[in-house]
Structures are given as structure tokens and as C-alpha cells.
């Protein structure tokens, strides 16, 4: 059987028992593949890279070197959770790279969505390669490739516009979850003891909040996206919708409108709320958010996010719209 085809006899991992057996098998396989060598991993905090990190920590402990790049476009609390879970709780050998200024400075004035993606992808590779070169004797690179990545893009993790590492960084790949589907990765993640909200979190694009701050990204508008997104996620979780709705997030378009506060006119940004359901992101329908919940979210955003005077709801399905605004 070619080495990128899932064994048709492989049972679907849908229970703790099957996940435990898979973990044991992979721990042995990883140890055999890498021996006493160090392995590098870009740890974003997404489901796939988090599960791979937890598996490798179990197999080789500090020989796994995780690099977490903060590009300034992550959601509120995301980097903090990666550090808490992996460094503090699992004892990972974790390098945190604060590259916020580098990314945001390079994005100043860039309006075109694909250009924004290219810049974010390129700087990510540059930052990661710089960190990789600082560490001696690294032969292996772990990746959170999953089976749909292989089926859809012949093994290249389908992050739009992100190129490969430079040629001199020629690593052997370690891809322990490459034959798993997303639901199986989640079951394995829970069996490894990762937090439920990390394992069942909604899809989050590589360019992060950058595509939810349409047009040229500015730091003030980016903060409005981050703060309103945090409120939306908190209220969805309180309403028991976490893990039930495919994706829900906020957008802050690059225009202002008039409002009134304390008897004075304001001229501020608007927040757009978007919540969609989907099976595989190729099409999407609108989650019908109940009005009482919408009003609660609206009230919190207007009261807590300074610089917003209007809250809108995007009810456009895919097609004709896309899920993200860019
Ligand atoms: P669209 O907006 O094309 O999104 O309907 C479909 C799904 O893909 C995600 N998305 C991305 N993911 N890099 C990613 O890793 C990207 O540049 C990107 N753009 C969109 C989006 O969140 C949705 O789940």
C-alpha cells in the first residue's frame, strides 16, 4: 500500500479505548522513528498541531521543541492558553516568539486580501526558519497533517499561500495523525487530556483576525475585532453553543458611522456578527441566533468595546458570500 493511503481496515477512532490504543501505537512508532533526536514543531494552538504536540511530548518529552509564533492576529487569550497548557501543564520545551510588530508593521497599508495572506505566510516561514536555525542538530519536523489534507492537496497542509521551508532546512517529517479524520483527531486529543475547548474549537484561518479586519489592518481596528470576538465567543459558550456552530466571529469593516453617546455625536466603527454552519466549508448556511442572545451580545459589545457604536448581523450564506469577508 502506498504510504499516503489510509489502510481500509483501520477502525474509525470513536472511543477512548480506540484512542488509547492509537496513542500507544504512535508513541512507539515516534520513538522508533526519531530515537534520541530533537524534533521541531510549529505549535499554533489549533487542534491538529496541539494533538501532535501532546503525542510527541508523551513519546519524547523535552526532545520535542515547540515554536509558538504570535503574529498579533490571534484571538484574545490564545497564546496564553498555548503557554499554560503546553509549557506549564505538559512541561513542553516551548519557544514563544513575539513577532507582533514584525507582522503588523509589514501589513501597514496593504489592502489586497491575497497580498495580506502572502505577507503573513512569508513572514511566518521566515520567523520559523530563523528559530529552527538557532537550534542545533534538528533533523525532524513534526506536522499536524491530517487525512483530508492528503486527500485535498497531496500532503501539503492546505494553508493558502504558505510556501515551504527554505531548502537548507531539509527535515524528515513526523506526521503521527496523517491518517486521521478531524473527528478522530479530536477523540485522540481528549484522550491525551487536552482541554475540551482546545480540542473542539472552531476552525480558525491561518491569517487569523487579519481577514476579519478587512482592507489595510490597523492596530486600533484589530483590537476592536479581538475584543468583540472574545465577547461573542463567551456568550456563545454561555448559551451552550460552543462546538455546535461551525464558525462564529466578528468583523470590523474599515468605515465609520454616526452614533450618539452621552448626548454627544460619535463617529465610530461598526461590528458585524457572523455565525455559520457547514459540513466542509465549501458551502455554509446561517445559524439562527435567537434575538435575546443577539441583544445580549450587542449590549455587551456596545458597553465594553470602546470605539464601536453600531452592531450588525451578516445573514449571507455561502454561496453567494464566502465564510470570511476576505
Ligand atoms: P471561505 O471564506 O473561503 O472560507 O468561505 C472557508 C474556510 O476556510 C477558512 N479560511 C482559511 N483558512 N487560511 C486558512 O488556514 C486562509 O487563508 C483561509 N481563508 C479562509 C475559513 O475560516 C473557513 O473555515
Q: Which residues line ligand 1 (CB under 6 A)?
A: 117, 159-160, 203, 205-207, 211, 247, 281, 318, 322-324
Residue nearest to atom 14 of ligand 1 (CA): 205
pLDDT digits (tens, 9 = 90+) for 275-294: 999 999 999 999 999 999 99
**pLDDT value at residue 152:** 84
208-314 CATH, one of 3.40.50.10490, 3.30.70.940, 3.30.300.10, 3.40.605.10: 3.30.300.10
Ligand 1 atom nearest to CA at 322: 5
Superfamily for the 16-199 domain: HUPs (3.40.50.620)
pLDDT for position 153 = 75
Cα 43 to middle of ligand 1, angstroms:
19
Instruction: Look at ligand 1, atom 3, and give the residue with the nearest C-alpha.
Output: 322
Per-residue pLDDT tens listing for the chain (326 residues) = 678 899 999 999 999 999 999 999 999 999 999 999 999 999 999 999 999 999 999 999 999 999 999 999 999 999 999 999 999 999 999 999 999 999 999 999 999 999 999 999 999 999 999 999 999 989 999 999 999 999 987 555 544 445 689 888 899 999 999 999 999 999 999 999 999 999 999 999 999 999 999 999 999 999 999 999 999 999 999 999 999 999 999 999 999 999 999 999 999 999 999 999 999 999 999 999 999 999 999 999 999 999 999 999 999 999 999 999 99
Q: What is the rounded distance in angstroms from the CA atom of residue 309 to the CA atom of residue 265?
A: 10
Q: What residue owns the CA closest to ligand 1's atom 16? A: 205
Nearest atom of ligand 1 to the alpha carbon of 325: 2
Spatial contact of 199 and 48, defined as CB atoms under 8 Å apart? no
Could you give the CA distance from residue 61 to residue 54 in angstroms, rounded to a whole number? 9
Report the pLDDT value the prediction gives residue 161, as an integer from 0 to 100.
Answer: 41
Q: In angstroms, what is the span from residue 206 Cα to ligand 1's centroid?
A: 8
Interatomic CA distance for residues 253 and 181, integer angstroms = 35
For residue 154, the model assigns a pLDDT of 58
Q: What is the DSSP string of 5-60?
A: S--TTPPP--SHHHHHHHHHHHHHHHHHHHTT-EEEEE--SSHHHHHHHHHHHHHH
Distance 324 CA to ligand 1 centre (A): 6
Residue nearest to atom 20 of ligand 1 (CA): 205
Cell triple for 321: 458570500
Q: Where are the domains of the chain?
A: 16-199, 208-314
The pLDDT value recorded for residue 93 is 97
Ligand 1: distance of its center to the CA of 99 in Å? 22
The count of C-alpha atoms lying within 13 angstroms of the C-alpha of 319, restricted to the half-sphere facing its C-beta, is 1
Closest CA to 324 of 113, 153, 152, 163: 113
Amino acid at each position: 500500500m502506498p504510504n499516503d493511503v489510509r489502510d481500509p481496515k483501520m477502525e474509525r477512532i470513536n472511543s477512548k479505548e480506540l484512542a488509547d490504543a492509537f496513542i500507544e501505537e504512535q508513541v512507539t512508532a515516534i520513538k522508533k522513528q526519531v530515537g534520541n533526536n530533537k524534533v521541531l514543531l510549529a505549535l499554533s494552538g489549533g487542534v491538529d498541531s496541539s494533538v501532535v504536540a501532546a503525542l510527541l511530548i508523551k513519546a519524547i518529552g523535552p526532545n520535542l521543541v515547540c515554536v509558538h509564533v504570535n503574529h498579533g492576529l490571534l484571538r484574545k487569550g490564545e497564546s496564553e492558553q498555548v503557554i499554560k497548557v503546553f509549557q506549564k501543564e505538559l512541561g513542553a520545551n516551548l519557544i514563544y516568539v513575539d513577532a507582533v510588530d514584525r507582522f503588523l508593521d509589514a501589513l501597514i497599508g496593504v489592502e489586497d486580501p491575497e497580498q495580506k495572506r502572502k505577507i503573513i505566510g512569508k513572514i511566518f516561514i521566515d520567523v520559523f526558519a530563523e528559530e529552527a536555525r538557532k537550534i542545533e542538530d534538528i533533523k525532524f519536523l513534526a506536522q499536524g497533517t491530517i487525512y483530508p489534507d492528503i486527500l485535498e492537496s497531496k500532503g501539503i497542509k492546505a494553508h493558502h499561500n504558505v510556501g515551504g521551508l527554505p531548502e537548507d532546512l531539509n527535515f524528515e517529517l513526523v506526521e503521527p495523525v496523517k491518517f486521521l479524520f478531524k473527528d478522530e483527531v479530536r477523540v485522540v486529543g481528549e484522550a491525551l487530556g487536552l482541554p475540551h475547548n482546545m480540542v473542539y474549537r472552531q476552525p480558525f484561518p491561518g491569517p487569523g483576525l487579519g481577514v476579519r479586519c478587512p482592507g489595510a489592518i490597523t492596530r486600533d481596528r484589530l483590537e476592536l475585532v479581538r475584543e468583540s470576538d472574545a465577547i461573542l465567543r463567551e456568550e456563545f459558550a454561555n448559551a451552550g453553543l460552543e462546538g455546535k456552530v461551525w464558525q462564529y466571529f466578528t468583523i470590523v469593516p474599515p468605515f465609520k458611522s454616526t452614533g450618539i453617546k452621552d448626548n454627544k455625536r460619535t463617529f465610530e466603527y461598526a461590528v458585524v456578527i457572523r455565525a455559520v454552519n457547514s459540513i466542509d466549508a465549501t458551502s455554509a448556511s446561517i445559524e439562527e441566533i435567537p434575538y435575546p442572545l443577539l441583544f445580549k451580545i450587542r449590549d455587551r459589545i456596545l458597553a465594553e468595546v470602546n470605539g464601536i457604536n453600531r452592531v450588525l448581523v451578516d445573514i449571507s450564506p455561502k454561496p453567494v458570500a464566502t465564510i470570511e469577508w476576505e
